[in-house]
Amino acid sequence: MPSQVKTPRFRKIQSFQLDYAPTTITQYESERTGMRVIVADREGPKINGYFALPTEILDDSGAPHTLEHLIFMGSKSYQYKGLLDKLAGRAYSSTNAWTAVDHTAYTLETAGWDGFAQILPVYLEHVMLPTLTDDACITEVHHIDGEGNDAGVVYSEMQGVQYGSSELMDLRARRLLYPEGVGFRYETGGMLESLRVLTNERIREFHKAMYRPQNMAVVIVGDADHEDLLRILDEFEESIKDDVPGLDAKFKRPFIDSLQPPALRQTYLETVEFPEEDESTGEILVAFFGPSCFDNIQATAVSIIMTYLCGSSVSVIENVMVEKEELASSVSWWWDARPNSIIWLQPTGVATEKLAFVEQRLMSLLKEVASNPLDMSYVKECIQRERRQNKFYAEGNEQYYSQNMITDYLFGNRDGSTLEEIQTMAEYDVLEAWTDEQWREFLRKWISDAHHVSILGKPSQSAAKKLKETEEARLAKRKQELGEEGLAKLAERLETAKKNNEKPIPPEVLDKWPVPKTDSIHFIESSTARSGKAKSLGVPNTSAQNTIDAAPQGLPLFIQYEDVPTNFVHLTVHIGTKDIPTKFKPLLPLFQGNFFNSPVMLNGSRVEFEDVVKQLEKDTISYAIGGAGRLGDSEGLAIQFQVEKEKYETMIEWLRTLMFDVIFDPVRINAAVTKALADIPEAKRDGRDMAYEVDTAIHFIPEAYNVARRTLVKAVYFRRLKKLLESEPDTVLSWFKDLSRSLFTFQNLRILVTADVEKLPNPVAAWDHLASAPGLDPTKDLVPITNPISILSSEGKTPGSFGSVIIPMATLESSFSVSTASGLSSYADPRLPAYLVALGYLEAVEGPLWTAVRGNGLAYGVGFNREVSGGYIQFRVFRSPDASKAIEAARTKVAKIASGEEPLDRHLVEGAMSGVVLSVADDQATMAAAAQQNFVTGVVRGLEAGWNRQLITRVRNVTADEIRKVMTDVILPVFTLGKSNVVVTCAPIMEEGMVKGLSTMGYKTQVRALSDFHEDYGLKGPEGEEEEDEDEYTDENGSGSEGSSGDESMED
């Protein structure tokens, strides 16, 4: 880098250190253009950049969202689609973007400063000076294909969103909250009917109006080199100065210099119907205007009062509506941080016939709370807990900073005064002094006595039918109007656009940017120590191990310690599910749901679940139970606690109580079943998840927890369980006891303690609180962690004979698919580095599959799963107008590359290698993550320490032949007839086309209903009793029909 010649023209507005985390925040402003730079300096391997532009538009055209997509299609000096992402991939970076109702943000995530610094100016030029060609608009936004159907990347994306319950309800609420002329009212993603007529001209206009340096903030969280940063930005400004409006140009700050939303003058209650086959449950959305997000005390008060009302099962709204009266499966809240903020309340899983009643109950309950004294000790606990949590997020979560910094840029004062407020947490001191009367006045003012908007979301079969008919009629009419000639013209126009978009990037252009060195990636070091049975994995030679060995020892529980300089203790307990009797496995989700929500015996007396939760909230920062997927074991369970180090021993006592002194209570189990049942219809609306569930049912054995926890199991099993709970509660209780006994054994627990080990009081022997529980046998050998291969079904071991299955779903407007074949089965497989590079190559943004599928409007996204030891490979298509075409396009592309017909692109290969480096950095982005990664590597996968770093070296040595070979041997089979199976979920209108598409490829096809994949695990309904509404949706058409013969001819 040349040394500096002149001082960059950036003025420092302020720089301050937070008093609760080791982070410094600095704000700069360009004196030339008004561009803002906001940096939060933090240690770690990752640099997270956000380029945020406040954008306001007064229509549903979708210009903000479509522009976001078009930014990536090329810029003034780099007129190549894909250049930016190819460069980013090579520089350990990934790019992304989102469009909200009030802004668009572009993200640049990089491992190490050098890579970030390389991409930054190229990316910024794309944002400020995009090419915005008509050809790009055709493929990326919307077009009519040669068959008369609507397609385009954004169009397909919005197709998957527009008729969902949440979108319909949210939009209706915003129409009632905001009058015309206020930007928050509109759908910035674009309504389908608007996208069909949106012109490139409109998008260009919008860019010109909104995208200028004085309306952009470069927000950076990470280990930034300020001097280098300002030099780069200064040069960038120099390079664009003739193409952007100067500081003196007239500019209105979006939302600030605009019409302000008036207060609501009345309360609205409306019903919104959404298309849905299952009409049993709906949801409710309620919105209130709240205080300004910059009034720190009031804003924090919102969060405290909402936590008090519905933060957990003991908070009043949830406790009454979910736990006691069982009117909803959950009541959640969130808020939109704005000068006129919005507070949202959302009861979900509400019985359709009770929607209106439940809304009234919610409102009356809010009034009731406001008219009686609050539980002030609980209010104080909520305040203290939130303060602890904030401190915790500030240590471990970059989004804590980026969110605050972006919101401040959107709506805050330009002199830095509003951002400066995050320096302290003084607002909590003020709120701790608030009286009962102050809190209730606040509650009345903003919520219980305030005008509001209530939307009842009602599922409707007829809306689904009507939607389908309207869409069919619209398309039929268009096709007729266009005629063959018109269609042919459109097909030709599309082809031209694609060709023009795919102008190849000359290699010498890419060569101008060398792959950055990895020296500037500062990995977080976590050192390991072990005690008890964990020592069988080896005893590390670390100072942490010395500390652990010198401490008083206890029973030989399996404990791995990870030593990092954190202020907190992160605790994870890994629990295998292998020893649970199969017939009880479907109970496990209920068991998890009640784990922290059940009464317990404490010192000989019964403590109700509300008091358990209250005490847990007091003693922890957070606690959770869930699947152990993040620990590398998708069959296991993980219990996690985050606490202050003074609470280390208390937390261990809690574990003992929750595992061994719980009281299984039919009332609590019934509440959990009711909640779970209410969530089923919503879960069954998700096309992607349902495709996965069906795929899982085909390729895994029923004994796998993955299979037993499916929604399609719950749908039958839980309904019958609820009946059994009424007739034979003791039987059900005994099942839960058996389940618990099979989980919590000495030999089935593996513990990870992440802490500043030196400062941990009594690190080893404190665990005797848990390890000495009656019935535990310390002499037993550890139960091995489930080998993923062992849970494959016979079809899963050698996929291919099943063929394909098509499942029409009324809730879908597009299609999803999963193709499965045999894959790698071990981390020790020597092909692993080549496999990772090959997947990275194919999946690269603007890489081969991206251009072949997404670039052709065939799907919003495609990708492979990343399970590398499961013995299978999956190829997935998301939100496609025709998944079979997306699969076909991908297959053709992969076959060409694997055979060598299409040569490997050297730059893309380098990018794929860098991508592996980035993923290693991702896995270790924070102290807690780095520590967890050591556990995954050593304990779950049984690999040697440092395996990940070695992988970086091994990946750099992968050859082109190795890549092609692994594509041929491992990846291509997922597209090969007789070696792969395909599951498709799709809009009913697509059924016929899908059957045709898949049988043309040669797959056996069958059309099935979701209910065909129900499974009851031997739990039968009461004799002679008809099961109500098992949502039979049978469709015999095409059922079992054989496709053309199984030859594997490939045309390309």
Q: State the minimum distance, in angstroms, from the CB of residue 154 to Zn ion.
A: 6
Q: State the minimum distance, in angstroms, from the CB of residue 922 to Zn ion.
A: 22
Q: Are 16 and 3 in contact (CB under 8 A)?
A: no
Q: State the minimum distance, in angstroms, from the CB of residue 97 to Zn ion.
A: 8
CA distance 1008 to 986: 11
CA distance 598 to 676: 16
513's CB contacts (< 8 A; 6+ apart) are 87, 90, 91, 118
CA distance 477 to 148: 10
- Mask for 140-159, x = binds Zn ion (CB under 5 A): -----------------x--
Q: State the minimum distance, in angstroms, from the CB of residue 70 to Zn ion.
A: 11
State which residue, 195 or 712, has the beta carbon closest to Zn ion: 195
State which residue, 157 or 421, has the beta carbon closest to Zn ion: 157
Site for Zn ion in 157-176 (CB under 5 A): 157
State which residue, 188 or 296, has the beta carbon closest to Zn ion: 188
State which residue, 132 or 299, has the beta carbon closest to Zn ion: 132
> How many chain residues touch Zn ion (CB under 5 A)?
1
State which residue, 96 or 536, has the beta carbon closest to Zn ion: 96
707's CB contacts (< 8 A; 6+ apart) are 696, 697, 700, 701, 713, 1015
Site for Zn ion in 637-656 (CB under 5 A): none
Q: State the minimum distance, in angstroms, from the CB of residue 860 to Zn ion.
A: 8
CA distance 856 to 876: 17
State which residue, 861 or 871, has the beta carbon closest to Zn ion: 861
Cα-to-chain-centroid distance, residue 164: 18
SS3 272: strand
| Cα distances (Å, whole numbers) of residue 995 to 291, 426, 445, 824, 1040 | 54, 63, 58, 30, 11
State which residue, 56 or 157, has the beta carbon closest to Zn ion: 157
CA distance 95 to 109: 6
CA distance 325 to 311: 17
Q: State the minimum distance, in angstroms, from the CB of residue 157 to Zn ion.
A: 5
> Which residues sit opposite 75 in a β-bridge?
130
Backbone φ, ψ for residue 578 (5° rounding) = -60, -35
State which residue, 157 or 563, has the beta carbon closest to Zn ion: 157
State which residue, 141 or 374, has the beta carbon closest to Zn ion: 141
State which residue, 157 or 237, has the beta carbon closest to Zn ion: 157
State which residue, 57 or 917, has the beta carbon closest to Zn ion: 57
Backbone φ, ψ for residue 105 (5° rounding) = -130, 135
Q: Where are the beta strands (DSSP E) in 363-509?
A: 453-460
State which residue, 96 or 480, has the beta carbon closest to Zn ion: 96
CA distance 478 to 585: 52
| Cα distances (Å, whole numbers) of residue 632 to 535, 593, 640, 935 | 20, 22, 15, 9
Q: State the minimum distance, in angstroms, from the CB of residue 66 to Zn ion.
A: 8
Residue closest to Zn ion, measured at CB: 157
State which residue, 157 or 991, has the beta carbon closest to Zn ion: 157
942's CB contacts (< 8 A; 6+ apart) are 537
CA distance 606 to 783: 33
State which residue, 52 or 970, has the beta carbon closest to Zn ion: 52
State which residue, 191 or 724, has the beta carbon closest to Zn ion: 191
790's CB contacts (< 8 A; 6+ apart) are none
Q: State the minimum distance, in angstroms, from the CB of residue 133 to Zn ion.
A: 18
Measure the CA dihedral 538/543/547/548, to 10°. -20
Q: State the minimum distance, in angstroms, from the CB of residue 153 to Zn ion.
A: 7
Site for Zn ion in 500-559 (CB under 5 A): none
Q: State the minimum distance, in angstroms, from the CB of residue 198 to Zn ion.
A: 14
Backbone φ, ψ for residue 38 (5° rounding) = -130, 120
State which residue, 157 or 427, has the beta carbon closest to Zn ion: 157
Q: State the minimum distance, in angstroms, from the CB of residue 99 to Zn ion.
A: 7
- Mask for 952-991, x = binds Zn ion (CB under 5 A): ----------------------------------------
Q: State the minimum distance, in angstroms, from the CB of residue 78 to Zn ion.
A: 21
User: Secondary structure of the chain: what % helix, strand, coil (to 5)?
Assistant: 50, 20, 35
Q: State the minimum distance, in angstroms, from the CB of residue 878 to Zn ion.
A: 12
DSSP per-residue codes, 530-593: EEGGGGGG----SHHHHHHHHSPP-S--EEEEEE---SEEEEEEEE--TTS-GGGGGGHHHHHH
Q: State the minimum distance, in angstroms, from the CB of residue 633 to Zn ion.
A: 33
Site for Zn ion in 4-63 (CB under 5 A): none
C-beta pairs of 392-400 under 8 Å, 24+ apart in sequence: 392/568, 392/621, 392/622, 392/642, 394/18, 394/20, 394/21, 394/23, 395/21, 395/566, 395/567, 395/568, 395/927, 396/926, 396/927, 396/928, 397/926, 398/40, 398/42, 398/46, 398/48, 398/221, 398/222, 398/925
Q: State the minimum distance, in angstroms, from the CB of residue 861 to Zn ion.
A: 10
645's CB contacts (< 8 A; 6+ apart) are 567, 568, 569, 755, 756, 759, 760, 761
953's CB contacts (< 8 A; 6+ apart) are none
Q: State the minimum distance, in angstroms, from the CB of residue 63 to Zn ion.
A: 13
| Cα distances (Å, whole numbers) of residue 297 to 291, 321, 421, 798 | 10, 29, 10, 61
State which residue, 157 or 882, has the beta carbon closest to Zn ion: 157
Residue 165: burial class (beta carbons within 10 Å; 0-12, 13-18, 19+): buried
Q: State the minimum distance, in angstroms, from the CB of residue 65 to Zn ion.
A: 6
State which residue, 157 or 649, has the beta carbon closest to Zn ion: 157
Site for Zn ion in 716-755 (CB under 5 A): none
Residue 88: burial class (beta carbons within 10 Å; 0-12, 13-18, 19+): buried
Q: State the minimum distance, in angstroms, from the CB of residue 403 to Zn ion.
A: 20
Q: Which of 825, 830, 829, 803 is nearest to 1043 (CA)?
A: 803
In the complex, the residues that contact Zn ion under the rule CB under 5 A are 157
